Amino acid sequence: MPKKLFRYIIIVGLFVVVGFAFGYLKTFFSFKEPGQINKMEEVQENVSLSKEATINPNTKIIYITYCTKCGHKMINESSADEKLIGMTKDELKKHLIDWNIESFSSDEVVLNRQVDTICDQHYYIGIQDGFVALFNGIPGEVSKAVETTDILADTLREEDRALLEKGLVITSKDEFLKIREGLSN
């Protein structure tokens, strides 16, 4: 009995060794049967047959505007507009002439441009038509009045008036409300 058991152990061990050897060699050598497609060839074929990415209703559009006069970057995100849906990268490039395409995929399109202006994030307090006013822009540059107060410039202290004539740069409309309250007293 021990001889038969020994033979069975030898035969089972031999099968295990041959099985491992076959698996090991198969990973390093391609035993491809005629007509069988290699996985890498199949992937490359599918990629070459896939169609070009297009904008769909779920595509996120990111608009990045660089303002050269102030150096700020404004970023706006939105979903794809109806007229952009179905466009390829080349079609979008022809449609949005003022924008550069930074990246393009069906999930996200990033567009950028540079404009020679200042952004809407700059405010200053100055004087317009004899009244204290809030301006959007930079003092001495092209700017527009956002709000004119009922505070006469002639009623201000000499130092305050001189400061406002030059333009007092502020960072927000909230700061303007605080300063306006102080000038009213």
Please, which residues have CB within 8 angstroms of residue 135's CB and are 6 or more apart in sequence?
A: 123, 124, 125, 126, 128, 143, 144, 145, 146, 167
Same domain, yes or no, for 175 and 132? yes
Number of domains the chain contains: 3
Mean pLDDT of 91-103: 92
Please, which residues have CB within 8 angstroms of residue 48's CB and are 6 or more apart in sequence?
A: none
Q: What is the pLDDT of residues 100-156, one digit of tens each?
A: 999 999 999 999 999 987 777 788 999 999 999 999 888 887 788 999 999 999 999
Inside any domain, residue 129: yes
**Other Cβ atoms within 10 Å of 87 Cβ, number:** 19
Q: What pairs with residue 148 in β-bridges?
A: 133
User: Is 79 or 142 the better-scoring residue by pLDDT?
Assistant: 79
CATH of the domain at 158: 3.30.70
Lowest-pLDDT choice from 16-20, 161-165, 175-179, 180-184: 16-20
**What does the alpha-carbon distance between residue 27 and residue 89 come to, in Å, rounded to a whole number?**
41
Contacts within 8 Å (CB) and 24+ apart, 132-140: 132/156, 132/164, 132/180, 132/183, 134/173, 134/176, 135/167, 138/69, 138/70, 138/167, 138/169, 139/166, 139/167, 139/169, 140/167
**Other Cβ atoms within 10 Å of 84 Cβ, number:** 19
Same domain, yes or no, for 129 and 110? no
**What does the alpha-carbon distance between residue 130 and residue 126 come to, in Å, rounded to a whole number?**
10
Q: Is 126 exposed, middle or buried (0-12, 13-18, 19+ CB in 10 A)?
A: buried
Q: CA 127, 129, 132, 135 torsion: positive or negative?
A: negative
Structural domain of 131: 123-184
**What does the alpha-carbon distance between residue 130 and residue 161 come to, in Å, rounded to a whole number?**
10
Mean pLDDT of 161-169: 91
- Residue 46 pLDDT exceeds 80: no
Q: pTM of whole model > 0.95? A: no
Same domain, yes or no, for 172 and 133? yes
- Is the distance from CB of 54 to CB of 109 less than 8 angstroms? no
CATH of the domain at 81: 3.10.20.420
Q: What is the pLDDT of residues 8-22, one digit of tens each?
A: 788 888 888 887 777
Same domain, yes or no, for 135 and 107? no
Same domain, yes or no, for 173 and 137? yes
Among 99, 115, 131, identify where a domain stops: 115
Inside any domain, residue 38: no
